[in-house]
Structure 1
Amino acid sequence: MADFPVPGLTHDSRKRIMNPIHMERHVKIICIGAGASGLLMAYKLQKHFQNFTLTIYEKNEAVSGTWFENRYPGCACDVPSHNYTWSFEPNLDWSAVYSSSKEIFAYFDGFAKKYQLHDYIKTKHQVVGANWIEETGGYEVKIENLQAGTVIDDKCDILINAGGILNNWRWPAIPGLDNYKGKLLHTANWDDSVDLAGKHVGLIGNGSSGIQVLPTIQPTVGKCTTFIREPTWVSPVQGLEQHVFSEEEKRDFANHPKKLLEYRKNVERGLNGQFGIFLKDSKINTETHAYMQSQMKEKLGDAYLEEKLIPNWSVGCRRLTPGVNYLESLRKPNVEVVYGEITGVSEKGPVCDNGNEYPVDVLICATGFDTGFKPRFPLINGAGTNLQDQWGKVAESYFGIAAAGFPNYMMFLGPNCPIGNGPVLCAIECQADYFCKLIDRYQTHNIKSFAPRADAIADFIAHKDFFMKDTVWKEPCRSWYKAAGDETVTALWPGSTVHYMEAMQELRLEDWDIKYDGNRYTWMGNGYSQCEIDPTADWAYYIRNRDDDAPLSLGARRRILTKSGTVKQQGGVSFTGASTGHNVKVEKDAARL
């Protein structure tokens, strides 16, 4: 079998012909970013694969991504701590229901250390460019060594972008910001050496970061002037209030794993059960709107603040934030609320559209990130197209994980995946599993390249846009869920997080443009099975006394996976809302949509 009637075969394919079916060729993978997604990808590859090389390039000096970068006062996740973990890796040491960013950093850093994931990671290295080389079927990648100030070259078969979207912080576009002579801070680039005690502090923004900063600094600053330009829903935390776990509670979780598991499951069920909030005119949306409106009025207790801060648009149009003690802080005697636009910044402080100047000692910009989905570096395909240009106006991906025309390129948390639909870490796990299935297919077949088909993406986008018309996300609120200067919802999945997980369970290879190295059946090899070359395997493994095959139908597999029949629920799913704290019911809105 030295000769084979297919011209142009690579050495890899010639080798495959000489070996049994499904030979596992070596795969070289580069991953961008060692945040939560990059660490999980390393864990999955290490657990499930052999014969691979992985290098993770991380621009920071440590892992954990946003949880390493964000250290501002009050920084925490707005998801209950015990549910901000990998599904398979609980943490017994959370100090509270909503733990600080330092604790979250320690969780992911500890995860990396526990599984020796640092072996794959090069810190202080930032990817600055990648080019697809059609002839070789791989990427040439340029990486800047941030410590040495040099640029190195690397190559890979598969490129995975785990850089995330909340990692490119920016100053607000306010004229004269450079004129300010006081101390200027950004929540995502915090200077721990700055002492706010007794100072007059200005705080710009009432998004997630601003909502966390204000109640944290209010007790220690001399005065805080908070600048708010638009209303937002602040979710009253009832049912899952902030609570510090006692040592006894921690021991109880440690000694009774089933108790911790049930706690985590109950919280997760509540988080998943809130998807109906995002469907316009659904019962849960209407009831939640009335409930949150009454709660915000009760906590604000001020007619002016109620008028300015309670939105007219629906709950969920922008990301919901628990807002522990935020609304109450707005009424404190040392807090001044200035509502309106900041037209400029003088040497002393912000100047607003009411004509007033507000001198402050320290100015904090809680103004977020560049949340566009374009890669942070030029990504060039074989036709010379840069994905930064292709996604210049509106980013369109396949299920939030891949782009048309860009072979062997996958991304975490890309356009239209469930970032704000419900729990996000389970969605990241789902994406990592999908990547592994693609990599397995690539490794065991003579595939040269794979990329989602343009027509598959077009159909997906059409379905997504149709679905979004009946969601609160399309309402006229300013949100990073939408494309800049456009009302197209680019950030969110057309369904719940659990819906996404089910959609992603199996590869839809009909949606992919797959190119082979030579004959598409070269992977069949020399006629022998892998079983037959393994002397420790049972060559008659299929002979048995009973039919114990795994289910062949999608529905049967789903019922086993979801443990159908183990939870007693009639007429829909009832639960206690994790954020709203009142009993709600998931309605069957699918027919309406």
Structure 2
Amino acid sequence: MADFIVPSTNRPETDAQHRLQGPIHAPRHVRVVCVGAGASGLLMAYKLQRHFSNFSLTVYEKNPEVSGTWWENRYPGCACDVPAHNYTWSFEPKLDWSAVYASSKEIFQYFNDFARKYGLHKYVKTRHQVDGAYWNKEKGGYDVHIKDLERGTVVTDHCDILVNASGILNNWQWPAIPGIDKYKGVLLHTANWDEKIDLRGRHVGLIGNGSSGIQVLPTIQPHVKKVTTFIREPTWVSPVQGLEQHVFSDQERLEFATKPNTLLEYRQNVERGLNGQFGIFLKDTNTNNDTEAYFRQQMHEKLQNPYLEERLVPNWHVGCRRLTPGVGYLESLGKPNVDVVYGEISSITEKGCLCDNGQEYPVDVLICATGFNTSFKPRFPVIGPSGKNLQDLWSTEAQSYFGIAAADFPNYLIFLGPNCPIGNGPVLSAIECQADYMLKLIDRFQTHNISQFSPKADAVADFIAHKDWFMQKTVWHDPCRSWYKQRADGPITALWPGSTLHYIEAMMELRLEDWEVKYNGNRFAWLGNGYSQTELDQTADWAYYIRERDDDEPVARGRRLQVINRSGTMQGNVGVSFSGKDGEKGVESKL
């Protein structure tokens, strides 16, 4: 094999010179820093390790363990609201989930086992919290400041590419209710649960009927003396038809583990079902209307209480807030030891909650199931070449490119950023395609003499304009309070303007016309010394393109997609039709 020089530094003055001495597409060393070792950060480490050479990676994680939100959230009843067999990476099934909706402990175990199986812990520094990232104008890339939480010191790292995988549902906060610091009982937050607290025989107050509150109530209700649950607004609660809770039998788990294709077919059928639900989120579709009728019927049958039904069944469309299966929740509201207080909490007193009905409700333990800061604003300063802080620019409305990058912040990539499909359908599938897109950018950075890449400001503006137009046709646009938007009448910042499958297809190829790319020296220095990569490999076929027939993969996008999605192999998928002039009412799913 011929000798050539691979640069060990990405300094502008040396990179182009080194490239001229090597073959075309010589992969220079690239240094990546990733913030967070939750699901996204672990996937990034896995994919970099699997697909790249000549790179270095450090994943900084503030917690003592990996797995992010699934290590942090340990409250009673904590589980994922996505069927467990499809809350896995597409390529990494788990054989022995206990139930359709598995506990957070099982999910933590899945991601922790994933990290252990592929040796990802070697990239991770736990108990290290990123405090800031600052563009280095001389070297390019970011100087990253990290607090060592065990030693109390601050260290600095430098990277060519910074990946923010800190997530959206991990920055928990107390509710903004006056007097919370005056309460003298036991105060708990679902995202900061103290497992030493024994609730048995106590009077518990529960604030919130979002995903966490809905999971907590049926779990603690049988064991406590009394629960007073404070609810300020209605919400749709029911599993989508066909995805009800089910505990897997020993026989089912055995067949998943030993019977060829049984688990694969089950996972594929569930995924098809999840992907067939997008019509739920579009106004005036059969899917939305039928689902709303089904939810309304389920809530009526489970509540069996006209007073609660009047207050808890929303007057906005199903899907405006995140759907939750709510296993056992509605039934728990009718139990003898559960009191429902509907309305606003005016303040928190030494004893409990003072509500807008003028009544004080004393409790021994007060659980705040009040969620997270979901502003999408970075948790730490991110300072770009202009000196501007992304925290300030996104303080009122976060605007990204396809949920993965921000204009004017080069070499900065984001998992589950603004307007990605975090609630549109199967979320881990979306994370996988985000990772693949990032790898394509990193590959181009590594094999060309690129110094900076960031989405163009006008591309971001056009994307936001398209997103805002599309969202008017969705139930997310209804005036409900939801973390999908910063205020009830505000723009939708959390969700993608389409289905998860739509996002996957949109992210299949780089649209470099949407990116501002800058180079070290001559942009064609990557052409190098005239030799190809093939000539450097003495085990390669130097006449690989000479054949007896044309076996090339399709060039046209449509034909290529038909190969990828195995077009023609399925019968009976959910059909879609377009109604209105030029499909102006969108896609109508036929269940």
TM over 0.5: yes
Asked whether the 8 Å contact 2:400–2:460 carries over to 1, the reply is yes
Structure 1 match to 2:301: 298
Aligned counterparts of 1:257 and 1:212: Cα–Cα separation in 2: 35
Structure 1 match to 2:345: 342
Alignment of 1:468-507 (within 5 A): 468-484=471-487, 487-507=490-510
Q: Deviations over 1:138-184 (max 9, x none)?
A: 11010000010000000000000000010000000111111111100
Relative to structure 1, the CA distance from residue 345 to residue 521 in structure 2 (aligned partners, 3 Å threshold; closer, same or farther) is same
TM-score normalised over the length of structure 1:
0.95
Q: Deviations over 1:287-311 (max 9, x none)?
A: 1112211211111111100100000
SS of 2:115 mapped into structure 1: helix
SS of 1:10 mapped into structure 2: helix
Q: Aligned-pair distance for 1:279?
A: 0.6
Structure 2 match to 1:423: 426
Q: Aligned-pair distance for 1:322?
A: 0.3
Relative to structure 1, the CA distance from residue 211 to residue 271 in structure 2 (aligned partners, 3 Å threshold; closer, same or farther) is same
Q: Aligned-pair distance for 1:485?
A: 7.0
Q: Aligned-pair distance for 1:587?
A: 4.2
Which of 561, 564, 589 lines up with 1:561 in the alignment?
Answer: 564
Structure 2 match to 1:169: 172
Greater displacement, 131-140 / 373-382: 131-140
Which of 580, 585, 590 lines up with 1:592 in the alignment?
Answer: 585
Which of 238, 242, 249 lines up with 2:252 in the alignment?
Answer: 249
Is 1:461 equivalent to 2:500 in the alignment? no
Structure 1 match to 2:8: none
Aligned counterparts of 1:186 and 1:412: Cα–Cα separation in 2: 26
Asked whether the 8 Å contact 2:406–2:454 carries over to 1, the reply is yes
Asked whether the 8 Å contact 2:401–2:460 carries over to 1, the reply is yes
Which of 133, 145, 155 lines up with 1:152 in the alignment?
Answer: 155
Is 1:324 equivalent to 2:327 in the alignment? yes
Is 1:94 equivalent to 2:97 in the alignment? yes
Structure 2 match to 1:184: 187
TM-score normalised over the length of structure 2:
0.96
Relative to structure 1, the CA distance from residue 587 to residue 207 in structure 2 (aligned partners, 3 Å threshold; closer, same or farther) is farther
Asked whether the 8 Å contact 1:276–1:587 carries over to 2, the reply is no
Aligned counterparts of 2:364 and 2:544: Cα–Cα separation in 1: 75
Asked whether the 8 Å contact 2:16–2:522 carries over to 1, the reply is no
Alignment of 1:117-516 (within 5 A): 117-236=120-239, 238-484=241-487, 487-516=490-519
Give the letter aligned to residue 111 of structure 2. F
**RMSD of the alignment, in Å?**
1.4
Q: Aligned-pair distance for 1:484?
A: 4.2
Give the letter aligned to residue 229 of structure 1. R
Q: Aligned-pair distance for 1:265?
A: 0.7
Aligned counterparts of 1:154 and 1:322: Cα–Cα separation in 2: 43
Give the letter aligned to residue 53 of structure 1. S
Asked whether the 8 Å contact 1:276–1:285 carries over to 2, the reply is yes
SS of 1:140 mapped into structure 2: strand
Asked whether the 8 Å contact 1:43–1:117 carries over to 2, the reply is yes
Q: Aligned-pair distance for 1:134?
A: 2.5
Asked whether the 8 Å contact 1:76–1:99 carries over to 2, the reply is yes
Q: Which runs of 5 or more structure 2 residues have no equivalent in the other structure?
A: 6-10, 587-591
Q: Deviations over 1:168-221 (max 9, x none)?
A: 000001111111111000000000000111110000000000000000001001
Identity of aligned residues (%): 70
Give the letter aligned to residue 588 of structure 1. F
Structure 2 match to 1:68: 71
Q: Which runs of 5 or more structure 1 residues have no equivalent in the other structure?
A: 3-7, 575-584
Which of 11, 16, 21 lines up with 1:18 in the alignment?
Answer: 21
Asked whether the 8 Å contact 2:57–2:123 carries over to 1, the reply is yes
Give the letter aligned to residue 307 of structure 1. E
Which of 541, 544, 557 lines up with 1:541 in the alignment?
Answer: 544
Number of residue-to-residue matches in the alignment: 575
SS of 1:449 mapped into structure 2: strand
Structure 1 match to 2:116: 113
Aligned counterparts of 1:93 and 1:9: Cα–Cα separation in 2: 51
Give the letter aligned to residue 350 of structure 2. E
Asked whether the 8 Å contact 2:481–2:488 carries over to 1, the reply is no
Aligned counterparts of 1:9 and 1:194: Cα–Cα separation in 2: 57
Q: Deviations over 1:48-85 (max 9, x none)?
A: 00000000000000000000000000000001110100
Relative to structure 1, the CA distance from residue 130 to residue 253 in structure 2 (aligned partners, 3 Å threshold; closer, same or farther) is same
Aligned counterparts of 2:584 and 2:38: Cα–Cα separation in 1: 39
Give the letter aligned to residue 500 of structure 1. Y
Aligned counterparts of 1:43 and 1:285: Cα–Cα separation in 2: 38
Q: Aligned-pair distance for 1:247?
A: 1.9
Aligned counterparts of 2:139 and 2:414: Cα–Cα separation in 1: 22
Alignment of 1:523-538 (within 5 A): 523-538=526-541
